[in-house]
Amino acid sequence: MMTESNRIEYKQELTESLEKEVVAFLNTSEGGVIYLGIDKAGNVFGLSDADEIQLKVKDRLRNNIRPSCLGLFDVIHELWNGKDLVRIVLAGGSEKPYYLRKYGMTEKGCFIRVGSASDPMPARMIEELFAKRVRNSIGNIRSPRQDLSFEQLRIYYQEKGFNLGDKFASNLELLTKEGDYNYAAYLLADDNGNSVQVARYRGPDRVDLIESNEYGYCSLIKSCKQVLDRLEVENRTVTKITSKERINIRLWNAVALRETVINAIIHNDYTSGAVPKFEIFQDRIEITSAGTVAPGIAREEFFAGYSIPRNKILMRIFKDLGIVEYLGSGMPRILKAYPRESFLFTANFVRTVFPMDSGALELQQNGNVTKIMEDTAQKSSQKSSQKSSQKSSQKILQLVKDNNSITTTEMAECLGISRRAVAKQIDKLKEAGKLKRIGPDKGGHWEVLGEN
């Protein structure tokens, strides 16, 4: 059992001082972890109702701490020696000083971690931190457009069983203090100027570009899913059949590749105008995002999973939708498959380089790749296409349920696909007996048939 330290706090039960400890961790650079159900000596007592305590903790952190710490914490139910615990994982915030809403930005409301204790923050430190507070964030920058729609985001939340109400923009922190849509809202809107690039080169350098695709101008959630689907197809299985066995090797570790793609999209510095870039070469894949990590302690925290989320609003929404599990979980998964040297840091960018698996590369170079590899890529492509088609059909039905007078043009805009593709999906739904048109194209309406 680990002892309490500047990063670990034990509490036998949920107490009134929880927010104080959380504020102290938020005001550090590395964050920390609070365990509920363990006493100061490290003895595991457990909790009688861990699920209820989880809900209480989330509610208290959401309402009792300012600035908002949404996206900076995870509350996880764990089992230790057969006893229920709650683990609260906290990242250091970028809008210091954090404080108790009840007492404001005062010595009574601000705290800092000193060893294993949470001490009141001196007035001078409060003033210095406030002066340095990061203001240039996507939450504070006004969107270049205010005529934004969020049908794609609504559909993604509905798929997870959540219904975005009329106040979703405020609840998801998509508004500036003045009440305008912020840049985070712009990135998540149905239509925007943001794009994510995927390029493929014939050789080991950038001389011979053979394919370039842009996934964007739509909700960043959709862009992320499109890039993941595309790279899943690219990450084909190389197969060699011997007299004794069949050897299957994927070009890259699938888990590490997925985590790196998501990290690049969530943590990209969009305030710089740069977008994430994904490049596939003859012998490797390179993933580049804007922003960097300072050397020394900050870089050690980055590899340990303690780094500050650059875009906490995006982090929170990606977590809501199940794309991200919990804070700091991605980097340990990546480092299980690839060394730290895979990450290259410059003054303005972070680039991740994953070489192709040496065994797979050898098979390709020697021309020993069997037809199974091609079949796998083809099947993956077909599967991705079928999956995309099914999702489009489900989303069309949901759009019709929300508005039975919606036009095919409006459907195409909401889904980010062509009008022809929408018409094709509607024909399939009609043939399957799931959708029916009542009346003419103009003045008529749709009707969803049966339970879907």
**In this model, does residue 199 exceed pLDDT 50?**
yes
Q: Which pLDDT score is estimated for 39?
A: 93
Q: Which pLDDT score is estimated for 386?
A: 66
- Of all residues in the chain, the percent with pLDDT exceeding 70 is 90
**In this model, does residue 375 exceed pLDDT 70?**
no
**In this model, does residue 381 exceed pLDDT 70?**
no
Which residues, 6 or more positions from 33, have their beta carbon under 8 angstroms from its beta carbon?
Answer: 7, 8, 9, 87, 88, 89, 90
Coil, helix or strand for 50? helix
Q: Which pLDDT score is estimated for 242?
A: 67
Q: Which pLDDT score is estimated for 373?
A: 43
Q: What is the pLDDT of residues 1-39, one digit of tens each?
A: 678 888 999 999 999 999 999 999 999 988 999 999 999
Measured CA to CA, the distance from residue 213 to residue 197 in angstroms comes to 6
Q: What is the pTM for the complete model shown? A: 0.66
Measured CA to CA, the distance from residue 379 to residue 392 in angstroms comes to 20
**In this model, does residue 372 exceed pLDDT 50?**
no
Residue with more model confidence, 243 or 86: 86
When pLDDT is cut at 50, 70 and 90, the band that residue 374 belongs to is very low
- Cβ-based burial of 333 (10 A; exposed 0-12, middle 13-18, buried ≥19): middle
**In this model, does residue 390 exceed pLDDT 80?**
no
When pLDDT is cut at 50, 70 and 90, the band that residue 422 belongs to is confident
When pLDDT is cut at 50, 70 and 90, the band that residue 452 belongs to is very low
Q: Which helix (H) or strand (E) holds 176?
A: none
Burial 216-252 (b: 16+ CB within 10 A, else e): bebbbbbbbbbbbbbbbbbbbbbbbeeeeeeeebebb
Coil, helix or strand for 96? coil
Distance set, CA 56 to CA 26, 63, 69, 239, 321 (Å): 19, 11, 15, 51, 21
Q: What is the pLDDT of residues 233-257, one digit of tens each?
A: 999 888 777 667 777 888 999 999 9
